Amino acid sequence: MASATAIRKSSIKSGSSSSRRNWGIVVMLLIFFMLNFADKAAIGLASKPIRESMHLTASQYGLLSSAFFWLFAIGAVVLTAAFRKISYNWAAGILMVTWILTMLPLTTQTTFAVLLASRMALGFFEGPAHALCQSIVHELFPPEKRAAAGAVVNAGSSLGPLLSAPILTWIILTWNWHASFILLVAISLVWTMVWFFYADRLPFKKRATRRQDNVAKADPNGDIVVPFYRLLMIPSFWGLALLSFAGYLITSLKVTWLPAFMNEGLGYSLQSVGMLVTIPYVCAVVILVGAGLLSGHMLKRGYSSRVARSFLTAACLLFAGVSRIVFTQIPAGPVQLVLVVAAFSINSVAFSIGFAGASDFLPAHQRAAFFGCIVAAYSVAGMVAPYILGLIVDSAETPVQGYANGFLIVGITICVFGVAGGLMLNPSKSRARLLELTAMYADRKQAVR
């Protein structure tokens, strides 16, 4: 009896310690994601100095901003596949080192060609970051906690620019835009050292036996065994791709054009922009974490995964799209600014709640590759949106009219993709279909034998 009690206490203590360590990993991934988006925000905050020093038009700056995403999809697919064989601690560490190397050329005077190449390389190595983070989180936590834990990590997409915007703006105005990248490189070096000290001591190569044991013991979808390509043919894949695309339209334009829009379109000074641009990021953190908690609460209360994941994500995106449409049609003032904040605050919900919905039907060992394909799909938004918006601004009679025309089109697109994606992403139906396919493939193998 005493022995059983001791074992139970030891198990509880071990579980508590493991839980604390898992949340510690979440915090490190949060900072990882913050740096991921801080370097994106740096270019947006320095848009005016860069355009003036290099004599760029709005469309040329849009092309520069889009360059980050030219290799993003390739990196998402190729590196995500490669990282399936590498332990998560080494994968995250390697990514951070590559980010540092690609930012180093921007710490000193450079040419437009070098700046363009640097952004392309950074985009390639940042491609798998989101899929990697979500795969780690979904492996560490049970289904009812994944949305909340994933939301904490994704909050880095807002906290990064939020905390860095005032500091980087001050650095850019006090010295130059190159100094902002010196700071980012220094912080990234510190994160790398702390990560390798704190993360689990794992070998470079992922142990296949460990993955198989985890699947057998903890994966609720371990009974699904289908070729990977079949996962890409179900409607839920395309639903999540549409939701993520809509969300990334907001993300890519927020980090590249929001500061310039507030300066040229709304008439605020650069100093004011450095503070105002943080407001959407503050709201985004609250919305993201709140939506993640709400999704988990809805599941506990008995709501279906489709309602708690898909419909909730679609509703958030629809609200963002409508806000964007409305602010382009009303005069400048406090109401317009509130709608601008609302329109740019809802962007990462699809990447936490929507991805959690996909984990409800994905086998654990196929999550990373599946998420990598979703990242590749939504990265197209980053490729085209900044450049097209620049073309629209250049073609309009005034920058104010150009921004209004561009954001109206974006708002309509977000509404359409958000609703369509929400209807297509159906976790329970997808799981049932994949179980049918599993049985079909098992029968085929049996027949061959």
- Note the pLDDT of residue 214: 46
| Separation of alpha carbons 40 and 215, rounded Å | 36
Helix segments in 261-311, DSSP class H: 270-276, 278-300, 305
pLDDT per residue as tens, the chain (449 positions): 444 444 344 444 445 556 787 888 888 899 998 898 888 778 877 877 888 888 888 888 888 888 888 888 888 778 877 887 787 778 888 999 999 999 999 888 888 888 889 989 988 998 888 778 877 887 777 776 777 787 788 777 778 877 887 888 889 888 888 899 999 999 999 999 998 887 766 656 666 544 444 443 467 888 888 998 899 999 999 999 999 999 989 988 887 888 888 888 888 887 788 788 888 888 887 887 788 888 888 888 888 888 988 999 999 999 999 999 999 999 888 899 999 999 998 877 776 788 778 888 888 788 877 887 888 888 888 888 888 998 998 898 888 899 999 999 999 999 999 999 999 999 999 999 999 999 998 888 887 76
- Note the pLDDT of residue 14: 46
| Separation of alpha carbons 269 and 274, rounded Å | 9
Question: Are the C-beta atoms of 128 and 375 separated by less than 8 Å?
Answer: yes
Q: Which two tokens stand for residue 276?
A: 């105002």
Which residue type, as a one-letter code, is found at position 292?
G
Considering only CA atoms, which of 424, 404, 440, 118 is closest in space to residue 266? 404
Distance of CA 326 to the CA centre of its chain: 26
Q: In sequence order, what are the beta bridge partners of 260?
A: none
Neighbours of 167 (CB within 10 A): 14
Which residue type, as a one-letter code, is found at position 81?
A
| Separation of alpha carbons 333 and 355, rounded Å | 36
396 three-state secondary structure: coil
| Separation of alpha carbons 306 and 357, rounded Å | 8
Residues 27, 31, 37, 39: what is their CA dihedral angle, to the nearest 10 degrees? Answer: -170
| Separation of alpha carbons 60 and 420, rounded Å | 33
Burial 22-61 (b: 16+ CB within 10 A, else e): beebbebbbbbbbbbbbbbbbbbbbbbbbbeeeebebbbb
127 three-state secondary structure: coil
- Note the pLDDT of residue 161: 78
Length of the chain as a residue count: 449
Cα distances from 157 to residues 33, 179, 380, in angstroms, run 6, 22, 18
- Note the pLDDT of residue 164: 83
- Note the pLDDT of residue 205: 66
Q: In sequence order, what are the beta bridge partners of 205?
A: 86
In the block, which residue shows the tokens 């912080």? 187
| Separation of alpha carbons 177 and 42, rounded Å | 8
- Note the pLDDT of residue 210: 46
Residue 106 DSSP label: G
Residue 380 DSSP label: H
Full DSSP string of 149-212: HHHHHHTHHHHHHHHHHHHHHHHHHHS-HHHHHHHHHHHHHHHHHHHHHHS----SBPPHHHHH
In the block, which residue shows the tokens 């699904």? 224
Cα distances from 38 to residues 29, 68, 201, in angstroms, run 14, 14, 28
Spell out the long-range contacts of 196-201 with Cβ–Cβ below 8 A and sequence spacing 24 or more: 196/89, 196/93, 198/24, 198/25, 198/28, 199/25, 199/28, 199/88, 199/89, 199/92, 199/93, 200/21, 200/87, 200/89, 201/89
- Note the pLDDT of residue 206: 64
| Separation of alpha carbons 442 and 423, rounded Å | 30
| Separation of alpha carbons 334 and 159, rounded Å | 24
